[in-house]
């Protein structure tokens, strides 16, 4: 089993050497939208330049040529 940073290296998750702390949540877009709308609105309304929420595409684990819509949430200090 590989480290997720290695598996998703093509996402360019940032330079971890210049950070004190970094947490990353990566999930299918369908999973993200299964959360209650009020919770998503609260997260998206946070005005912190250390928090990034991006819509991306990730490679399917079953077929790397196929892309899956996903949400990347990253908080870095």
CB 7 within 8 A of CB 58: no
Structure tokens at 1: 């089993």
pTM confidence score:
0.80
pLDDT tens, 19-59? 788 888 999 999 999 999 999 999 889 878 888 899 999 99
**What pLDDT, on the 0 to 100 scale, is given for residue 50?**
86
| 13 CA to centre of own chain | 9
Q: Determine the average pLDDT of the residues in 61-69.
A: 90
The model's confidence at residue 15, banded by pLDDT at 50, 70 and 90, is low
Q: Cα(74)–Cα(64) distance, rounded to whole angstroms?
A: 23
């Amino acid at each position: 089993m590989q480290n997720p940073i290695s598996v998703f290296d093509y996402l360019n998750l940032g330079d971890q050497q210049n950070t004190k702390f970094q947490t990353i949540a990566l999930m299918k877009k369908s999973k993200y939208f299964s959360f209650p709308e009020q919770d998503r609105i609260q997260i998206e309304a946070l005005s912190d330049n250390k928090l990034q929420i991006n819509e991306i595409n990730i490679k399917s684990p079953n077929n790397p040529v196929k892309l899956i819509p996903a949400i990347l949430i990253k908080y870095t200090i």
